[in-house]
Amino acid sequence: MSQSDMKIAITNGRVIDPKHGVDAPRDLFIANGQIVALLPAGQTPDGFAADRTLNAAGQLVLPGVVDLAARLPGLEPELEAAVAGGVTRLACPPDTDPPMDEPELVERLVRRAQDAGLARVHPVGALTQGLAGEKLAEMAGLAAEGCVAFSQAKRAVRESQSLLRALQYAATFDFPVWYYPQNLSLARGGVAHDGEVAARLGLPGIPVVAETVAIAQITELCRATGVRIHLTRLSSAAGVALVRAARAQGLPLSADVAVHHLHLTDDDIGFFNNLTRVDPPFRTAADRAALREALADGTLAAVCSDHTPLAEDERQVPFGEATPGVSAVELLLPLTLAWAREAGVPLTTAVARLSCDPAALLGVAGGDLGVGAPADVVLFDPEATWTVGTDTLVSRGTNTPFLGRAITGRVATTLVGGKVVFSR
């Protein structure tokens, strides 16, 4: 019997399923890779005989985490890191090498991910060929192979007319476009938030207006074309205000935030700590507070890892020369729940921003524990304490500003399609 054919009972846990309004002690039953029942403790579906029972006493039983941005150099090791962090579905940005602009590349990535049998991978296709910002990519062919959206990642379409045509084409087929809101001209040469810290350290800054100008432009293009726009990785209070206003006007516009932006500010750069070199940059405490509030009230629909594992030689250089990015897929769940704990946000809201809400943005099944849903499940010990270190991370990238920090809460077990793919 293969693992995915096994009947599994998860007993004695606190089940949180925001999509169905569940936050209660429940036993969860799985067969043929799907959830078949969710019952009060002690009850069993008629005729169900478990091949394996997982005792979740003292643990949270959650839908698998859906991550909207994780880069996967060395596919299988990073998928192992994903499931170690409770991530069962992830979207892969198109800024791969080569860029994800041909159907054959998408088909190969999806097949390799399926063969690995770990987290499910949903590619985001390139909006333009080679991400060069000139000729449109073959969106229909990319979508047919499994692309869930189209994006330039962090590269610009320099000609506004080219961007307008790309959005018009995407709108024609109702393809969502994911847009990184940063005006590259205003951000050019910058490596940190344009504020007191950058000035004191002599670092070139990236002003907030680089984000707000880009949001203002894409909002008007969204209004003109009707295309669904998802803004990736907001960083500022002013940016949040623009998103809130656009949504209030009924525009089909959503946005997300990277989990590290919920916790860190430009003060964490310290004395040129290049582990804090990220795009967009960490901004002020007021910006961080606005992001945290917007995630709580739903203005920001999801929190993601923006996982970018880097090699040692990419960061053992001066701050301004370091490659931006943070290894974060294993910290996404515990750091999001830490935000909820600190901010007094209900656990159901925090779990929603990690599961059913991003699944809805992807347009895929999952992100919930309803009967008939794929059995993508995480058992999470909320009291476990551990220290982030090179020996406690599975990812090959240990480039995280949380190195050495004590974390409360850790994934104990992850199931994908009813198969146990990680257990601590």
Task: Read off the pLDDT of residues 176-235 as tens digits, 9 standing for 90 and up.
Answer: 999 999 999 999 999 999 999 999 999 999 999 999 999 999 999 999 999 999 999 999
Q: Under CATH, what is the fold of the domain 64-368?
A: TIM Barrel (3.20.20)
pLDDT (tens digit per residue) in 5-22: 789 999 999 999 999 999
**Domain residues of the chain, as ranges?**
7-61+374-423, 64-368
Report, in this order, helix, strand and coil percent for the chain, each rounded to 5: 35, 25, 40
Architecture of domain 7-61+374-423: Roll (2.30)
Query: Is the four-CA dihedral 93, 232, 67, 398 of positive or negative sign?
Result: positive
d(CA 28, CA 261): 34
Give per-residue pLDDT as tens, 345-391: 999 999 999 999 999 999 998 899 999 999 999 999 999 999 999 99
Instruction: State the Cα–Cα distance between residues 199 and 197, nearest whole angstrom.
Output: 5
Whole-angstrom Cα distance, residue 375 to residue 165? 40
Whether 143 and 125 have beta carbons less than 8 Å apart is answered as: yes
Tell me if 242 sits within 8 A of 218, measured CB to CB.
no
- When the pLDDT of each residue in the chain is averaged and rounded to a whole number, the result is 96
Q: Annotated active-site positions, please?
A: 306
Q: pTM here? A: 0.97
pLDDT digits (tens, 9 = 90+) for 141-176: 999 999 999 999 999 888 889 999 999 999 999 999
Q: Where do the DSSP E strands lie in 150-269?
A: 150-151, 177-179, 192-193, 205-206, 229-231, 253-258
**What is the per-residue pLDDT for 1?**
63
Q: Would the pLDDT of 2 be above 80? A: no
Mean pLDDT of 241-266: 98
The DSSP secondary structure of 328-377, one letter per residue, reads -TTTHHHHHHHHHHHHT--HHHHHHHHTHHHHHHHT-S-SS--TTSB--E
Q: How far is CA 298 from CA 291, 365, 398, in A?
A: 10, 21, 31
Residue count of the chain: 424
